[in-house]
Structures are given as structure tokens and as C-alpha cells.
Chains A and B, each alone.
Chain A
Amino acid sequence: MTTPDSATIIEFKDVRYAVDSGRDLLRDLNLEIRGGETLVLLGRSGSGKTTTLKLINRLLVPSGGEVRVEGRSTLAWDAIQLRRRIGYVIQEVGLFPHFSVERNVGLVPGIQGWPAERIRARVRELLLLVGLDPQLRSRYPRELSGGQRQRVGVARALAADPPILLMDEPFGALDPITRAEIQREFLALEQRLKKTVVFVTHDLREGLLLAGPGGRIGLFEAGRLIGVYTAAEFLRATEPLAAEYLAAFRSGDDLIAR
């Protein structure tokens, strides 16, 4: 076995994932994610990108091959310890409806036994970080707008300062204006925090934006990783599927230009 590059934080080796009925959702996945980079997983619904994400925090375990986080197979990790080192944001947000914003954001620090004072200070700091008024701390999720809820979701994932952040179409349910706003802010946040971010989306525009100049885009189709590109490479890619995405992307521009 080759030792992974010291900068590799997440590694997929010949990973296969099959559902109980035996159908493969993911095949022959080999991928290295470097510490501090942003990797966008792009593909249509059912292409295997969410499955890939869930294999990292062991919400799923591989049917074949190995997923390594910080050099250790996810199966060798204690699942709870592993997940507490990984922030997780999903499209439905999944805020606890019976918890105030403060308790939602302070959840992971709380279960890790931080003292109450430190949690309070951390919650304040995080709300400011994601662009929310700290006065919102006593509100309940149902009293927030969609954009605010999604920001709280991001704050919650960052609470215990995890080195890795997994995001599963986190902005997918937002209206286009809120979405653009939160994307820009997240990009700025990401550049400041230097976390390893794995970001699932089916939207090429979002993918290109968040990958930025330093990140990469992994293109998925029918359970296979077709290729990994930087944003610049993707725009020049001749691979048919990438070209298809680009055509769809540019047709939008044509509409505007007309």
C-alpha cells in the first residue's frame, strides 16, 4: 500500500458502494482530496455525488475499497469521533425545530462538553461570521427565513471548528437572489477559514464560483467519476459530458445576450 501524500486529507481507493438490492450507486472511485482545498462534486441527480459525500462521514460504508480520512480508514475511526471532526450541511438544513438558534449552533460544542460560557461566546462569533444578527439567537427555526436558516446551518456545521466541511446542495432550495448572496459570502468565508470543503451541486455556475481559482471540480455521471478539473480546465474541457454541461451553461448566457 502506498502512503498517501502528506497533504491528502481524504482519499478514496477503488471505492464501490452498492445498495442492498445489489445495484451499484458508485463504482471504481479513486480520488484524493488535499487539506484546505475546495472540491466541488458536480453531476445530475443519482450520479453518486451525495453517496460520495456520505462515505466520508461514514453515514454510508463502502461495499468495496476504502475511504481514508486523515490517513485512517473510516471503518477504523470511531464513527462519532469522525463525524465530530467533520461539519455537515444539507439542503433541507435539518435544524432542530424544537431548539433555539443558540442551541442549534451550540449543539456540537455542547455534546463535546464545552463550558456554557464558551459556547455562548462561540455562538455569537459564528452568527456574526455567517452574517446574522446575534439577537436571532433566541429565535426558533420556524421564525427564520430560508436564507437565515441556511446560514444557521452553516454556523452549526462550523461550531466546533472542524477541519473538514461537507456540503450537500446547501443553497439549492433558496431563491436566486438570496442564493447568489449567500454563495458570495460563503466563498469569502471559505477563503478566510482554509477548511477542506467538499461541496455537492448540480449547478455548474455554483460549482465554478465556489471552486474558485484554487479548487477543483469532480464530474460524476451514473456512479462514476468522469474527471477532475480546475475551473479553468473545465471551461476548456472537450470530454463530452463536460461539454454538455458547458453548452447548457452557455445557452443561459445566450438568452441574456439576446
Chain B
Amino acid sequence: MGLLKFLLTNRIEVLELTGEHLWLVGVSMLLAVVVGVPLGILLTRHPSLNKPILGSANIMQTVPSLALFGLLLPVPWIGDRADRLTILALTLYALLPIIRNTHAGITGVDRAVVEAGRGMGMTDRQLLFQVELPLALGVIIAGVRVATVISVGVATIAAAIGAGGLGEYIFRGLAMVNNNLILAGAIPAALLALAADVILGLIEKRLRPA
């Protein structure tokens, strides 16, 4: 097995690239949650913003990732460093599922519960933090889960602009027509995506109200 041998002899590099990959995805997810969840909440308060915000996030998802990297390249500060650019791109991709699920999660909270809370004199803020967000958390995490799995995949393309990550092996393997090298990038990336899916899935299950 040439692949296994390759992974073992290059284990330090494999770990480094996996670390880079995780870092790119982790930072992007954090940013996407920090931006996406408040936007999702905003949509529930101002339904008229629904179309413009979800529309833009939707369009963002249709832009091919390689094209997005290219488009962002000339942007000052962002284009200066490959990792910055990658993080921005991954964040933009992750926004749609997070915004959409935050919105769906909150509007999906039993209306009777919200009405009872409001009728008892809870302020909008109290309702949001004590009732709506805790009850919507499972659905919001489901959005983060989808976004994370997408990002692990898209992040492999970041190697094309020199941001590192497991995509390095894939692109190197493509250039050298070396299947083992391609798999050395693809398999760990797939395992990362699976692990993220399973872990976030468990968290989601715990947070869903029974």
C-alpha cells in the first residue's frame, strides 16, 4: 500500500496540513456564526429583510469557489494573504445555512409558548434569550453542521491560492498525476468532514427539545 506508507513517512506534514485545514474551517465557522446568527435573528424581527438577506446569501452559494477566490484576490487587505481570503470565502459560503436555520429555528418555536411568554410580560430580549434561542438551538446547530461539512470540502480548494491545508496534496497529486498523493489529501479531508458531522450531530441531538 503506497498510500499508507506515504502517510506514515510524511505524518508530520500530514498533521500540519490537517491542522491548517482545521484552522481555516474553525475560524470561518466562528465568524459565520458570529455574523449569521444575529442576521437570522434580525430576519425574525423584520420579515421584510427576508428576501434581500436570504437572497444574497443564496447567490453567494451559487458562485463556484474557485471563481470566488479569484474575485476576492484583487480586494485590498483581503487579497494580501491567502489565508485571509480563504477564511472570508468560507465564511460567505457558510452564512446561508446558518442564517436560514437560525430563522427557521426561531420561527419554528411553538407560537403558544412565545405568546404565553409575551402575555406574562417578558421583554423581547428575555423572550429571545430565555425562550426562543434555547428552543431553536438544535436547529441552529444543524445549520452549523451543514456549513462545517461544506467548508471542509471547499477548504481543499484553498490550496490553489496557497492557503495550505489538505488541498496541497490534492493539487500536488493532480500536477504530478499521482493518485496516492491525491488520496493522501482527500481521505483525511473526508474523515475530517465525517468527524465534524458526527460530533455536531451529537450536540444537535442533545440540544433538541424532547
By a beta-carbon cutoff of 8 Å, the part of chain A in contact with chain B is 57, 59, 79-84, 86-88, 90, 92-98, 107-108, 111, 142, 153, 156-157, 166
Can you list 16 A-B contacts with CB-CB less than 8 angstroms, sorted by A residue number? Answer: A83-B118, A86-B121, A87-B120, A92-B110, A92-B116, A94-B115, A94-B116, A94-B117, A95-B116, A96-B113, A98-B134, A107-B120, A107-B122, A108-B120, A111-B122, A153-B116
In the bound complex, residues from chain B placing their C-beta under 8 Å from that of A87 are: 120
Q: Whole-angstrom distance between the alpha carbons of A97 and B207 in the complex?
A: 12
> Which residues of chain B from 10 to 24 have a CB within 8 Å of any chain A CB?
none
Please tell me if the beta carbons of A96 and B131 are within 8 angstroms of each other in the complex.
Answer: yes
Q: Considering the complex, give the chain B residue whose CB is closest to the CB of A92.
A: B112
> Which A residues are CB-close (under 8 A) to B120?
83-84, 87-88, 107-108, 156-157
Residues in A with CB closer than 8 Å to B210 are 97, 142
- Give B164-210 interface residues, CB cut-off 8 Å to A: 209-210
Give min CB distance, B87 to chain A, whole Å. Answer: 34
> Known contacts A92-B116, A111-B126; can you find 20 more A-B pairs with CB under 8 A?
A59-B119, A81-B121, A83-B118, A83-B120, A84-B120, A86-B121, A92-B110, A94-B112, A94-B113, A94-B114, A94-B116, A96-B130, A97-B110, A97-B113, A97-B209, A98-B135, A98-B209, A107-B120, A111-B121, A153-B116
Residue ID in chain B nearest A85 by CB atoms = B121
Residues of B within 8 A of A111 (CB): 121-122, 126
What's the Cα separation between A96 and B134 when bound, in Å?
10
Total cross-chain contacts (CB, 8 A): 64
Among residues of B, the one whose C-beta sits closest to the C-beta of A87 is B120
Contacts of A86 in B (CB 8 A): 119, 121
The distance in angstroms between the C-alpha atoms of A88 and B113, with both chains bound, is 12
- Residues in B lying within 8 Å of A, measured CB to CB: 110, 112-123, 126, 130-131, 134-135, 209-210
Q: 5 tightest A-B contacts by CB? A: A94-B116, A83-B121, A92-B112, A88-B119, A84-B121
User: Which residue in chain A gives the minimum CB-CB distance to B122?
Assistant: A111
Q: Collect the chain B residues with CB atoms within 8 Å of residue A153's CB.
A: 116
- How distant is the Cα of A88 from the Cα of B121 in the complex, in angstroms? 10
The chain A residue sitting closest to B116, CB to CB, is: A94
Task: List, in ascending order, chain A residues with CB within 8 A of B119's CB.
Answer: 57, 59, 83, 86, 88, 90, 166
